[in-house]
Amino acid sequence: MNTIEYRLPQERRRVTEFPGPRSAALAERRKAVVGAGVASTLPVYVADADGGVIVDVDGNSLIDLGAGIAVTSVGASNPTVVDAVREQVGHFTHTCFMIAPYEGYIEVAEKLAELTPGDHDKRSVLFNSGAEAVENAVKIARHATGRDAVVVFDHAYHGRTNLTMALTAKSMPYKSGFGPFAPEVYRVPMSYPFREGLNVDGSEISGAQAAARAISVIEKQIGADNVAALLIEPIQGEGGFIVPADGFLPALSAWARAHGVVFIADEVQTGFTRTGAWFASEHEGIVPDLITMAKGIAGGLPLAAVTGRAELIDAVHPGGLGGTYGGNPVACAAALASMEQMETLDLNGRARAIEDTVTSRLTALADEIDIIGEVRGRGAMLAVEFVLPGGGRAPDAEATKSIAALALQDGVVILTCGTYGNVIRLLPPLVISDALLDEALTVLENSIRIVAEEN
Ligand code: PLZ
């Protein structure tokens, strides 16, 4: 990695209990005014963040293995991004691209055309959040095909708006009590190698077989001719960092092409060097018709995009897509600086190096500890799935929660995920130093050992 200069000391430092007095006071104020429906993982409040650390209002410095859910890949205050944002806000913060357009939006679209898979003619439209990008990809697919049905998968996560709640699989906490949901959304089986049955001869279900299973459900229960879009995360995020079996995505993509179905890759979490490639679709050699992006794209500023085949996106009438803030100029400036940093710092290479470090340590631990069911993931999108002791695969959400809580008490921010709540996911900022990553892994390993012994 071409080195980055850190502004804050890259260290784990605990000076108070969690939460310290200032955080505790903020928690009290929050209770009186912030809606209870918004929950926070950390009990502490942030004063500063840089590289691999988050510093709280009491002066504690925590190692960040979450990056604000895969957002701050280039760091939470990357100097190049900060400079670009400062420069842009000094000129104009907003004019609305639908009213008074500006170059930054076009530059982002040019960059996305260059970086996304495929050398076909591409167009992009910019939005504010991942959910908004997904909604718009569905709008585009329906408009372009004249069809209604949208196919999604078990364990999928696509957002919290009304349409994207329908697309998301998990009821609690995302959907429960918030219906009715948007119609014409159909869920089909995913390829989840760790939780698949076996073939009668004892062999594993292949990616091609898992795809055939999903396709059969689509053809029998929906009808290929009714399907506007097939929407899938190439590696599922919130659902548990599920990497489908090899061949699953290519088979689905080929089927979609053959039936005039728009293949949408939701790369909101996997995109922008997170998995060691610009987009996770590249690992399987697929070229999606549309790609949804957000999170890592703009170094922490809210920006999202749909990029894809010109003939699909341009099928929409002028004025059919947009929004007040979509492609905000400050967010565009941040995105251009972030993408430049990903190239300059070779964050794809960095993500692959993180994969090597983390997987070698955690797979070694898995040999000793039977509550580790599987270590998986790609690049710096890595996970450990926990199971009850005894050699089976029954999920253990309690142990998972305890491990994350212990690590947090020890000053390492670790997120969980998964349909069964039994997956620890590691999403460090890609600019984290080797020393800090090693230290965080030692804390995680200790937490796992402690909980495994208690079990
Ligand atoms: N698609 C694949 O991962 C966001 C959500 C956290 P927004 N994932 C984190 C939470 O509990 O709300 C996500 C995603 C994929 C879409 C989204 C939605 O992106 O920017 O949160 O709307």
pLDDT of residue 3: 72
CA–chain centroid gap for 332, Å, is 20
Quote the ligand 1 centre to 72 CA distance (angstroms): 14
Pocket-testing residue among 38, 73, 268, ligand 1, by greatest number of atoms within 8 A of Cβ: 268
For residue 89, what is the enclosing H or E element?
helix 79-89
Best CA proximity match to 268, nearest among 389, 131, 119: 131
CA gap 116, 207 in Å, rounded = 24
N residues, the chain:
455
Structure tokens that stand for 112 in this block: 């996305």
Quote the ligand 1 centre to 267 CA distance (angstroms): 10
Best CA proximity match to 351, nearest among 369, 371, 375, 377: 377
Task: Name residue 152's beta-bridge partners.
Answer: 187
CATH topology of domain 82-344: Aspartate Aminotransferase; domain 2 (3.40.640)
Sign of CA dihedral 61, 403, 240, 417: negative
> Where does the chain hold its CATH 3.40.640.10 domain(s)?
82-344
**Three-class DSSP category at 237:** coil
Burial class from Cβ neighbours inside 10 Å (0-12, 13-18, 19+) for residue 22 reads: middle
Residue ranges for the chain with pLDDT beneath 70: 1-2
Pocket-testing residue among 69, 176, 233, ligand 1, by greatest number of atoms within 8 A of Cβ: 69
pLDDT of residue 2: 54
Q: For every residue of 119-171, which 3-state class applies, written as one string?
A: CCCEEEEEECCHHHHHHHHHHHHHHHHCCCEEEEECCCCCCCCHHHHHHCCCC
CA gap 416, 3 in Å, rounded = 30
Quote the ligand 1 centre to 427 CA distance (angstroms): 14
Structure tokens that stand for 416 in this block: 């969980």
- What residue owns the CA closest to ligand 1's atom 21? 130
pLDDT of residue 228: 99
pLDDT of residue 455: 84
pLDDT of residue 391: 85
- Produce one character per residue of 270-303: b if its CB has 16 or more CB atoms within 10 Å, e if not: bbbbbbbbbbbbbbbebbbbbbbbbbbbbbbbbb
Task: Name residue 382's beta-bridge partners.
Answer: 377, 426
Quote the ligand 1 centre to 90 CA distance (angstroms): 30
Write the CA distances from 190 to 8, 27, 197, 270, 440, integer angstroms: 42, 40, 12, 17, 32
Does ligand 1 come within 6 angstroms of the Cβ of 406? no
CA–chain centroid gap for 138, Å, is 19
Domain 21-64+346-454 of CATH type 3.90.1150.10: yes
CA gap 421, 395 in Å, rounded = 8
End-to-end CA distance of the chain: 40
For residue 309, what is the enclosing H or E element?
strand 304-309
Write the CA distances from 341 to 13, 81, 106, 144, integer angstroms: 28, 8, 19, 35
CA gap 214, 217 in Å, rounded = 5
Q: Which atom of ligand 1 is nearest to the CA of 269?
A: 3
- Produce one character per residue of 403-425: b if its CB has 16 or more CB atoms within 10 Å, e if not: bbebbbebbbbbbbbbbbbbbbb
Q: Which atom of ligand 1 is nearest to the CA of 134?
A: 16
> Where does the chain hold its CATH 3.90.1150.10 domain(s)?
21-64+346-454
**Do the bridges between strand 290-293 and strand 304-309 make them parallel or antiparallel, or are there none, so unpaired?**
antiparallel
**Three-class DSSP category at 55:** strand
